[in-house]
Structure 1
Amino acid sequence: MPYAIGFDVYGTLVDPVAMGTHLQGLAGDQARAFGQLWHEKKVEYAFRRALMEQYQDFGTCTRQALEYCLLRFGLNLSDQDQQRLMEKFGQLPAFADVITGLEALRKQGHTLVAFSNGPEAAVRGLLHNADVLPLLHDVISVDALRTYKPSPRVYRYLMRRTDGTPEHTWMVSSNPWDVIGAKCAGLKAVWVQRDPASLFDPWDVVPDMVVKDLVELSKRWE
């Protein structure tokens, strides 16, 4: 039976650490470390805002995380240059396996949606630029709920939007916390372990499937 599949965007479909290429002129040899911290910090800020019920959209979390990183690395950047850097988030590349993997999954008859903490318009633009958008049936953002993954409300919203049931709705993510959140909400979940050295959180929750990329996922469901 075909599934409804929600794909995390940042880190699963597109590579946020690729921002390092845009940071070379600013951070030099520390560009990749800057990009990694920026990604981690914006996710942390979303978590905090969800817990405190002080919602601001993901763009705000991203901008504030940038400001933190500039302080952390002792760098200065004008507001105008910060905005130009923020715009680069709309130009992140898809991982090499994503197009092929999504094409195969779509041919298998599954309903494929992007499911993101980012605002819908920004995510659509990002996925359009990465040539991923035409392969998806929809883009679903948490923005309508004014909270963030891994809130259980968010994963239930994915099921409602896709007319799915817990046993036939899957979350696909490279983020262990996202997988755990989906599982705790009753969904099925795939962990995309892009880095063999990455670890899954040692909770009493395990993914239903572990794959190295979306091509492997499509083959597992042939």
Structure 2
Amino acid sequence: MSLTLAFDVYGTLIDTQGVVSQLEAWIGDRASGFSQCWREKQLEYSFRRGLMNEYKNFASCTRDALEYCCQSQAVDLSEAQKQALLACYARLPVFADVKQGLEALQAQGHHLYAFSNGTAEAVDGLLSHAGVRDYFLDIVSVDEIATFKPDPATYRHFLRRSSSKAEQSWLISSNPFDVIGARNFGLQAAWVKRSDGAVFDPWGVEPVVTVSGIPQLAAYLK
């Protein structure tokens, strides 16, 4: 049976730690910690804006989070360096398993969508640069309804845009908050555990399946 698959992008298909190499040139062995702080604050700002109903797009959250990390970690980056880091977000790499997995899922007849907190324009450019845009029927962005995952409205919006039913739709994400949000809404969901040390939030809501990469999801759904 063909399923509708909604792929989270940042952290699931795209490696947000791809900025580390650029950071290392400027701040050395502090780069990894800085990058992690940036990612965590980026997500926190999206959550807070969603709760406050004070929407600004994901690029704005990313920009504000970078400013916070520079201040909190006492890293003095020039404006040109900050702009270079933000530009890195337009050309982050996919994880090594992604193309093989997407190709297998497409061959199985599933309907693949990118479903992101990022704007459709940003995600389109990112996936195109990474060479995986053609696997997706469409890009569904929360920007279209001015809120962020895991707001239930975002999953409802996805079903509407993809003309799919909850019982036939899967959310695939490396972010536990996204998986829990989707399961809470009534979607099927797979957690992509991208590192051995990743911990799923102990909320009593579990993914249908946990996989280490996209090919393992294809094997499960075959």
- Measured in 1, the distance between the counterparts of 2:196 and 2:81 equals 35
- Measured in 1, the distance between the counterparts of 2:174 and 2:148 equals 16
Q: Which residue of the partner structure matches residue 6 of structure 1?
A: 6
Shift of 1:135: 1.2
- Measured in 2, the distance between the counterparts of 1:105 and 1:154 equals 24
TM-score, normalised relative to structure 2: 0.98
What does 1:60-71 correspond to in 2, within 5 Å?
60-71=60-71
TM-score, normalised relative to structure 1: 0.98
Q: Which residue of the partner structure matches residue 25 of structure 2?
A: 25
**3-state SS in 2 of match to 1:90:** coil
How many pairs align?
A: 222
Query: Could you list the per-position Cα deviations for residues 60-103 of structure 1 after superposition, in whole angstroms to 9, with x for gaps in the alignment?
Result: 00000000111122122232331121011111100000000000
Q: Is the 8 A contact 1:27 1:34 kept in 2?
A: no
Q: Does 1:184 align with 2:212?
A: no
Q: Does 1:37 align with 2:27?
A: no
State the identity as a percent: 46
Shift of 1:26: 2.1
Q: Which residue of the partner structure matches residue 147 of structure 1?
A: 147
CA RMSD of aligned residues (A): 0.9
Of 131-140 and 76-85, more deviation after overlay is shown by 76-85
Query: Could you list the per-position Cα deviations for residues 91-142 of structure 1 after superposition, in whole angstroms to 9, with x for gaps in the alignment?
Result: 1100000000000000111110110000110111111111111111111110
User: Is there any run of 5+ residues in structure 1 with no aligned partner, and where?
Assistant: none
Of 48-57 and 194-203, more deviation after overlay is shown by 194-203
User: Which amino acid counterpart does residue 70 of structure 2 have in structure 1?
Assistant: L
Shift of 1:22: 1.2
Q: Which residue of the partner structure matches residue 112 of structure 1?
A: 112
- Measured in 1, the distance between the counterparts of 2:13 and 2:127 equals 9
User: Which amino acid counterpart does residue 63 of structure 2 have in structure 1?
Assistant: R
- Measured in 2, the distance between the counterparts of 1:79 and 1:19 equals 16
User: Which amino acid counterpart does residue 195 of structure 2 have in structure 1?
Assistant: D
- Measured in 2, the distance between the counterparts of 1:80 and 1:192 equals 35
Q: Which residue of the partner structure matches residue 130 of structure 1?
A: 130
- Measured in 2, the distance between the counterparts of 1:123 and 1:132 equals 11
Q: Which residue of the partner structure matches residue 168 of structure 1?
A: 168
- Measured in 1, the distance between the counterparts of 2:39 and 2:153 equals 24
Q: Which residue of the partner structure matches residue 159 of structure 1?
A: 159
- Measured in 1, the distance between the counterparts of 2:168 and 2:27 equals 45
- Measured in 1, the distance between the counterparts of 2:83 and 2:142 equals 23
